[in-house]
Amino acid sequence: MFEEHLLTHGVTADQIISINFEDFDFAHLTNPQNLYAYIKEGLQSDRQNYLFLDEIQNVADFQKVVDSIFLKDNVDIYMTSSNAHLLSGELATYLTGRYVTIEMLPLSFREFVTAHGLENRLAQAYRQYIETSSFPFVAIGDLEPSLISDYMESLYHTLLLKDVVARKKIIDVMMLERVIRFMADNIGNELSTKKISDTMTSMGRKINVRTVESYINGFMEAYLLYQTKRYDIKGKQHLKTQKKYYFVDIGLRNYMLSETSFSDVGHVLENVIYLELIRRGYNVSVGKIDKVEVDFVAQNLDGLVYYQVAATVRDEATLQRELRSLQKIPDNYPKYLLTLDEDPAADFEGIRKMNALDFLMGKN
């Protein structure tokens, strides 16, 4: 899209070098010497150049090539990678302070609704959103269920086998799959590496804590899994224990569990809200105050916002329980209670209760 933008705003085709390293036509360029020679030959000496390198991690020692090209005054470089390995290690050292990272997520609920024209049928749209997928190929492709399943299988194996197994050199793939499925079944629950290790061991497959930690790091580097730490609201500091994990896409999670389950609708909603807060540029933590928990503490340069998430609070006891956590917070930052209840927005002594789908549509 950006290449097209450049071409319609005065940039000529010979100023753009675009290479997709998953395209076999460019297989010879995965050699760093060949890549450098190819790029250097294509550069225009008297004009600005735009270099697009897609899936750059497929090139051996790509960091050295990029750094050499980066030294030239008339080159803008754009790189993509499907995992967080891109700016780790040597490249981060070479380009410290000279790059901007943009992390991408699948489609938001609002984007999904807009693509399908479902602005007046949000409940239907939400069910479709979490049953199928938020990945663009599925979300806007209007695919048959069998094709969605095939795509999810392909995506799962790409993320797990290519981005985790191959790069981490993991031998016990079956254990890796057991761990990721366990975590898929426990989104929104407090987990520790020891708890995961003990659970796997109790199921007859022994695994140590260090291996579990390595697996989780691999899932996170592949952007399959997101980790959120606990935050002591009174002490204003992060805690080291009992983190929570959320999946990049509920449809992919459904595939891993071999089912579309609404028995944990609250945790699914929590997962969707978490990703939305990340999209909006917040740093997100799980809040702890005294012995109760606040689902999300969202922080940016403007301050904090607190969110409690529940599928429904129409039962008075449930409503009071969900409000209690927010009521304990002594500061005056905004506080929200988000639910799937199709009720008018309400205010409880400064705590705003609103429909979660309206929130996801940006109506807050």
Residue 186 CA to residue 246 CA, distance in Å, equals: 9
- pLDDT bucket at 83, cuts 50 / 70 / 90: low
- Residue 332: CB partners within 8 Å, gap ≥ 6? 350
* Dihedral pair phi/psi, residue 318, rounded to 5°: -65, -45
Give me 204's structure tokens: 């007859």
Q: 319 by DSSP, 3-state: which?
A: helix
End-to-end CA distance of the chain: 30
For 107-120, what is each residue's pLDDT tens digit?
999 999 999 899 99
Is the pLDDT higher at 141 or at 296?
296
Q: Kindly state the DSSP code that residue 163 receives in the 8-state scheme.
A: I
Note the pLDDT of residue 7: 96
The torsion angle over the Cα atoms of residues 354, 356, 358 and 364, rounded to 10 degrees, is 60
Note the pLDDT of residue 67: 86
Q: 353 by DSSP, 3-state: which?
A: strand
- Residue 266: CB partners within 8 Å, gap ≥ 6? 188, 309, 310, 311
For 60, 111, 310, 363, the CA distances from 64, given in Å and listed in that order, are 9, 38, 49, 47
Q: What is the mean pLDDT of residues 177-195?
A: 92
**Which of these, 225, 223, 245, 250, lies nearest to 133 by C-alpha position?**
250
Residue 355 CA to residue 338 CA, distance in Å, equals: 6
- pLDDT bucket at 84, cuts 50 / 70 / 90: low
- Torsional sign, CA 44, 48, 54, 57: positive
Note the pLDDT of residue 57: 80
Is residue 77 pLDDT above 70, yes or no? yes
Residue 23 CA to residue 26 CA, distance in Å, equals: 6
Is residue 88 pLDDT above 70, yes or no? no
Give me 167's structure tokens: 């790069």
Q: What is the mean pLDDT of residues 147-156?
A: 88
For 273-291, what is each residue's pLDDT tens digit?
999 999 999 999 998 888 8
Q: Kindly state the DSSP code that residue 124 receives in the 8-state scheme.
A: H
Q: 240 by DSSP, 3-state: which?
A: strand
For 210-247, what is each residue's pLDDT tens digit?
999 999 998 998 889 999 988 777 777 777 777 899 99
- Torsional sign, CA 117, 111, 9, 45: negative
Q: What per-residue string of b and e applies to 187-223 under the rule 16 or more CB within 10 Å gives b? A: bbeebebebbbebbeeeeeebeeebbeebbebbbbbb
Is the pLDDT higher at 267 or at 161?
267
**Neighbour-count burial of 233, counting CB atoms closer than 10 A to its CB (0-12 exposed, 13-18 middle, 19+ buried):** buried
Is residue 89 pLDDT above 60, yes or no? no
Give me 49's structure tokens: 């150049």
